Amino acid sequence: MTFRSGRLKTPVLFDINLEIRHSEFVAIMGPSGCGKSTLMHILGLMLSPTSGKVYLDGCETSILRKNGRSLLRREKIGFVFQRFNLLPTLTARQNIAIAERIRGHQLDGQISNALESVGMADKAHYKPGQLSIGQQQRIAIARAISHRPELILADEPTGNLDSANSERILQLFREVHQQSGVTVVMITHSPSAARWADRVVRMTDGKILND
């Protein structure tokens, strides 16, 4: 698969050939700007490759309409964005609830559990602007896991956390991965975070260096 970005068609990803198996815990590492987030957006069906194919659960995703891809993404994937993408006017709980409502779920218990599991139960009624960056990151993680996705795509999920909270999040990913066989793909710059994964994919300059 290759990807060229923007109107100038700047090449970002070249000859990417990556298979992630069900129930794997994979870390993606590589220098800033090498294309990790872009690859993650393609895995999360938010971007389409310029050439090549993306399969999810055996389904070739380019044959789906935009709506079909959105539906698949909403149901199967939990995405932790590098910049969190929380809605500023909503509280932490509402940020999670709105994602659930779009899915047609209304599971207050699951939202509370998700907030609890990232250590943010007591800040449920705070808005993103009233939270520290690390706390916002934990809300973004709670939002990604609350619907119990089959695939968690997390873009530097511990990038803003202290060591105790990093450990908590990695432990959480490990637990959902071991208990329910969730597939986890996590971008990280931290070798100690990558050690939690079963497999490390290294990228450089838009290519996979080794796997």
Please report, as ranges, the residues that interact with Mg ion according to CB under 5 A.
37, 82
Q: How far is the CB of 34 from Mg ion (least distance, A)?
A: 9
Site for ligand ATP in 115-174 (CB under 6 A): none
Which of ligand ATP, Mg ion, none lies near 32, with the C-beta cut-off 5 to 8 A by kind?
ligand ATP
Interface with ligand ATP: number of residues (CB under 6 A): 13
Q: How far is the CB of 168 from Mg ion (least distance, A)?
A: 22
Site for ligand ATP in 168-197 (CB under 6 A): none
In 138-157, which positions are buried (b, 16+ CB within 10 angstroms) versus exposed (e)? bbbbbbbbbbebbbbbbbbb
Toward Mg ion, which CB reaches closer, 37 or 135? 37
Q: How far is the CB of 166 from Mg ion (least distance, A)?
A: 17
Q: How far is the CB of 94 from Mg ion (least distance, A)?
A: 27
Toward ligand ATP, which CB reaches closer, 59 or 133? 133
Toward Mg ion, which CB reaches closer, 50 or 82? 82
Toward Mg ion, which CB reaches closer, 37 or 117? 37
Tell me the β-bridge partners of 184.
25, 152
Site for ligand ATP in 10-69 (CB under 6 A): 10, 12, 30, 32-38
Give DSSP secondary structure letters for 35-65.
SHHHHHHHHTTSS--SBS--EETTEEGGGS-
Pairwise CA distance, residues 15 & 183, whole Å: 23
Which of Mg ion, ligand ATP, none lies near 10, with the C-beta cut-off 5 to 8 A by kind?
ligand ATP
Q: Which of 1, 2, 5, 119 binds ligand ATP (CB under 6 A)?
A: 5
Query: Which chain residues interact with ligand ATP by CB under 6 A?
Result: 5-6, 10, 12, 30, 32-38, 82
